[in-house]
Amino acid sequence: MSSSPLRFDDGPVQFRQRVICSILSRRPLLVKNIRHLDQDPGLRDYEASFLRLIDSLTNGTSIEINETGSQFKMRPGIVINGEVSHDCSVSRSIGWFLEGVLPLASFGKRDLKLTLTGVTDGYENEEVSIDYIKASMLPVLKEFGVGADESEGPGAMLRVTRRGAAPGGGGSVEVFCPMVKALTPINIVDPGMIKKIRGNAVSCRIPPTSPARVAHAAKGILHKLIPDVWIHTDTNSGSKTNGPGGCGESPGLKCILSAESTTGVTLSAEVCLDYRLERGAVLPEDLGVQAATLLLDEVRKGGCVDSACQSFIFLLMCLTPEDVSRVRVGVLSRYSVTTLRLLKQVFGVEMKVTGEGKVDGGGDVDGGGVARSVLLSCLGIGFRNVSKSVT
């Protein structure tokens, strides 16, 4: 793996991934032309907040930002982790921040005990929520050996202590992730058959009938295909200042659904009520139908991981020991294709892609209406946790 600096001249494209890859590869990072043609050029508040979070999780990291914010340099340090608290910008959800730092969570000198405050729900189709991370990404970490052996201690955990919908936020999340010396290669190629579906309809400062209507509409579709469907309703009134049941000042409504197969594969999909819409523009039943439709579309694609989790699992595959890791995905999203190019540039890892699947937006369905899945495999770089304390 090269030690030369990473240089990017195309602005904030894949901002979080580039920062994380710089730290993992221990290569300095230079990013230029960050919105340099905009009326308001430079880094946004949430990107600056993400850099502050990275600085809190590491030791020796040096970050320099020019006067306009259109260029920054970073010299990566060592991942320390430990107990860290961070107030996230309300311009992005807590999930946006947590998704970014999750690849670093297991490579610190100590276990990660992270507390994040800000928006827990409400940015539809822009970023994953904390509930999605808990349902899909934490099980992926376990597949890579993070907390897989319960005799050595608890695995990765996420707990929502307080809900906070967009745009006001006010939520709080506690995350725990144990450190590991190295990841374990994976071989996740059999999607199996769906045996059960679980979900959660969450509301903040909205009458409790709304999440119940969301759950009823989703079950109305899913029960036609599988009998084992259970959707929990989580109502947060905002009357409590802290703890379960409390929430921030903004109203919100969301639904997340997860399908588990006979081979242990979990596919998830979620939908949030867009706070920018007028009241009554979207009915709770519409949200439930949309969530069920998105989940069924993920199942139709025939992958072992859902679309939003692809880039995360690709990065972890590159960091495994020098052995082959394989995973089957459905339709490759355009974001995932960009991630594969970044991983090749940073780590020198080139994925072998087999199958007849195509990039999202192309003809990815055969004549029978079934999506053609894609099998990706690669040889890990043998990444080891050099920050881990010697005991």
Q: What is the pLDDT of residue 389?
A: 55
Residue pLDDT, tens place only, 208-254: 999 999 999 999 999 999 999 999 999 987 655 555 557 888 999 99
The average confidence (pLDDT) of the chain is 90
Q: Which of 124, 112, 255 is nearest to 197 (CA)?
A: 255
> What does the buried/exposed string (b/e) look like for 257-278 if buried means 16 or more CB atoms within 10 Å of the residue's CB?
bbbbbeeebbbbbbbbbbbeee
Q: What is the pLDDT of residue 391?
A: 44
Sign of the CA dihedral 196, 298, 144, 80? negative
Q: Which of 156, 139, 104, 113 is nearest to 385 (CA)?
A: 104
Q: What is the pLDDT of residue 274?
A: 85
Q: What is the pLDDT of residue 151?
A: 62
Tell me if residue 194 falls in helix, strand or coil. Answer: strand
The residue-averaged pLDDT of 43-63 equals 96
The residue-averaged pLDDT of 95-103 equals 95
- DSSP state at residue 327: E
Q: Which of 71, 73, 76 is nearest to 26 (CA)?
A: 76
Percent of the chain with pLDDT over 90: 79
Residue pLDDT, tens place only, 279-327: 778 899 999 999 999 999 999 999 999 999 999 999 999 999 999 999 9
Q: What is the pLDDT of residue 99?
A: 95
Question: Predicted confidence band at 49 (pLDDT cuts at 50, 70, 90)?
Answer: very high
The residue-averaged pLDDT of 331-344 equals 94
Position of tokens 């992926």?
Answer: 140
Q: What is the pLDDT of residue 249?
A: 87
- DSSP state at residue 309: G
264-to-139, 140, 260, 369 alpha-carbon distances in Å: 10, 11, 6, 25
Q: Which of 340, 84, 325, 311 is nearest to 182 (CA)?
A: 325
The answer, yes or no, to whether residue 114 has pLDDT greater than 50, is yes
Residue pLDDT, tens place only, 123-153: 766 689 999 999 999 999 999 999 877 666 7
Q: What is the pLDDT of residue 362?
A: 46
Residue pLDDT, tens place only, 16-47: 999 999 999 999 999 999 999 999 999 999 99
CB 278 within 8 A of CB 250: no
Q: What is the pLDDT of residue 124?
A: 63
pTM across the whole model: 0.91
The answer, yes or no, to whether residue 56 has pLDDT greater than 60, is yes
Percent of the chain with pLDDT over 70: 91
Question: For the chain, where are the E strands, in sequence order?
Answer: 6-8, 29-31, 58-59, 62-65, 72-75, 78-79, 82-87, 112-118, 157-162, 171-177, 187-188, 194-204, 229-236, 252-261, 266-272, 324-329, 352-355, 374-379
121-to-86, 167, 364 alpha-carbon distances in Å: 17, 9, 31
Q: How far apart are CA 190 and CA 327, in angstroms?
A: 9
Q: How far apart are CA 258 and CA 261, in angstroms?
A: 10
Q: What is the pLDDT of residue 278?
A: 80
The answer, yes or no, to whether residue 359 has pLDDT greater than 50, is no
Residue pLDDT, tens place only, 362-386: 444 444 444 578 999 999 999 999 8
Q: How far apart are CA 21 and CA 37, in angstroms?
A: 26
Residue pLDDT, tens place only, 145-183: 998 776 667 889 999 999 999 889 999 999 999 999 999
Q: How far apart are CA 96 and CA 137, in angstroms?
A: 13
Report the first-to-last Cα separation within the chain, whole angstroms: 28
254-to-149, 249, 270, 289 alpha-carbon distances in Å: 33, 16, 7, 12
Cis bond before residue 167 (omega within 30° of 0):
yes
The residue-averaged pLDDT of 77-99 equals 95
**The one-letter amino acid at 102:** L
Q: What is the pLDDT of residue 67?
A: 92
